[in-house]
């Protein structure tokens, strides 16, 4: 089996414990196993990882820029420009068969490399440019919507293949006439090793029924709604864990929880990969209150593999994967309905077991690592 070289443009801090970097990380071992050698060109920030036949190339760190936040920022604009220069340099210097852009900015850089080197361009569509700008309430969204359309059309037209994190994206891509090049690849997750020290620390909460949210604390994740809902929960044996988020967001939500009078809530901030899995392992119920969007959150696949009952808001991003009253409880975007679903699971142990078993079954039948590797091999 001959090894093929891939230049993967990862226009974000890599590796870091959030959805997109985890999705990128999940590509690596399966691609190496089927015969690819991968160079990752990425930001200066992030944790180095060790995967055979994978090398991380970082652009220089600029001393006047702080850590790059999620979403659009001046950091991102500057680093993407530097990434473009380095991408062109490496693209010309080395013989790559494929340039693989992660996110729109990674694919846009890949577009220039493709034009210079006449190689294949693959594009992992983590989110739709137009939808992401709308959800994040970017300034001038309505005025710039035509510009976003042009960017999308350019990427869809020039990508040889597009890997979608959600099948709902096909509808948007079909508007430009390129849906025949777009393929849904569900993310994959598996139970990770337990952090034994943290596991012992969490033992003090085992007299409670633990409800856990794991992820960033951006506004679209609905943390305000989650806390308002939990303030209405009747039973006192429920404990809410919120795992993730940068310091300023954690502090803000702590104050919000205090104003709501919530006592049984704990904020743990950003955690390492092992520790996140330890929190999930110690949980009885998993929850996501995302407010809108069609991109399936990576956390959903992680939730499923733990075989825990899931509560999720009834939006496209969730109901593509989950089925109400079968492997999850879906709820409306209001605090009363979410509180009712939490109360129901706190009271009904048998329902928790049933939903958890169905969630595990869904993972094993549709979203396991073997299926994931097979899909990648066929498409790559």
SS3 289: coil
Could you state, in order of their start, the residue ranges of all structural domains in the chain? Answer: 4-185, 196-366
Q: Which one-letter DSSP state was computed for residue 216?
A: -
Average pLDDT, the chain: 93
- Cβ atoms of 191 and 305 closer than 8 Å: yes
For residues 336-347, average pLDDT: 97
SS3 43: coil
β-pairing verdict for 36-42 and 54-58:
parallel
The matching CATH number, chosen from 3.40.50.970, 3.40.50.300, 3.40.50.2000, 3.30.70.100, for 196-366 is: 3.40.50.2000
d(C-alpha 173, C-alpha 161), whole Å: 12
Beta strands in 264-328 (DSSP E): 265-269, 285-288, 310-313
> Hey, which residues does 311 pair with through a beta bridge?
287, 329
Nearest to 287 by CA among 258, 250, 318, 321: 318
> Hey, which residues does 9 pair with through a beta bridge?
41, 101
Summarised one tens digit per residue, pLDDT across range 235-245 is: 789 999 999 99
Summarised one tens digit per residue, pLDDT across range 117-136 is: 999 999 999 998 877 766 65
Summarised one tens digit per residue, pLDDT across range 161-214 is: 999 999 999 999 999 999 999 999 999 888 888 999 999 999 999 999 999 999
Q: Quickly state the pLDDT bin for 273 (edges 50, 70, 90).
A: confident
Q: Quickly state the pLDDT bin for 42 (edges 50, 70, 90).
A: very high
Give the model's pLDDT for residue 17.
83
Residues 6+ apart with CB under 8 A from 15: 21, 24, 25, 46, 47, 48, 49
d(C-alpha 313, C-alpha 289), whole Å: 5
- Listing DSSP states for 348-377 in one string gives -HHHHHHHHHHHHHHHHHHSSHHHHHHHHH
| CATH, range 4-185 | 3.40.50.2000
């Amino acid at each position: 089996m001959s090894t093929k070289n891939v230049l993967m443009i990862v226009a974000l801090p890599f590796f870091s414990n959030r959805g997109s970097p985890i999705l990128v990380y999940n590509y690596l071992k399966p691609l190496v196993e089927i015969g690819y050698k991968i160079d990752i060109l990425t930001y200066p920030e992030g944790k180095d990882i060790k995967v055979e036949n994978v090398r991380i190339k970082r652009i220089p760190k600029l001393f006047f820029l702080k850590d790059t936040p999620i979403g659009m920022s001046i950091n991102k604009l500057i680093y993407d420009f530097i990434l473009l220069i380095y991408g062109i340099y490496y693209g010309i210097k080395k013989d790559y068969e494929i340039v693989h852009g992660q996110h729109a900015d990674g694919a846009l850089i890949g577009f220039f490399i493709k034009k210079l080197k006449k190689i294949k361009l693959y594009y992992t569509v983590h989110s739709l440019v137009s939808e992401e700008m709308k959800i994040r309430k970017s300034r001038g969204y309505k005025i710039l919507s035509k510009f976003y359309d042009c960017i999308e059309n350019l990427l869809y037209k020039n990508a040889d293949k597009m890997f979608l994190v959600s099948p709902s994206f096909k509808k948007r891509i079909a508007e430009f006439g390129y849906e025949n090049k777009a393929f849904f690849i569900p993310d994959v997750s598996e139970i990770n090793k337990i952090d034994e020290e943290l596991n012992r620390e969490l033992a003090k909460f085992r007299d409670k029924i633990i409800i856990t949210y794991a992820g960033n604390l951006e506004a679209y994740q609905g943390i305000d709604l989650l806390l308002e809902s939990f303030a209405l929960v009747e039973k006192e044996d429920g404990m809410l864990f919120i795992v993730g988020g940068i310091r300023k967001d954690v502090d803000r939500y702590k104050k919000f929880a205090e104003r709501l009078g919530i006592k049984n809530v704990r904020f743990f901030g950003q955690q390492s990969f092992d520790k996140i899995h330890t929190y999930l392992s110690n949980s009885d119920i998993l929850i996501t209150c995302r407010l809108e969007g069609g991109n399936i959150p990576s956390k959903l696949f992680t939730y499923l593999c733990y075989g825990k009952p899931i509560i999720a808001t009834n939006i496209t991003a969730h109901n593509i994967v989950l089925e109400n009253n079968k492997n999850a409880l879906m709820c409306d975007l209001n605090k009363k309905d979410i509180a009712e679903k939490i109360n129901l699971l706190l009271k009904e142990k048998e329902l928790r077991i049933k939903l958890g078993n169905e969630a595990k079954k869904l993972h094993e039948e549709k979203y396991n690592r073997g299926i994931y590797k097979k899909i990648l091999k066929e498409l790559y």
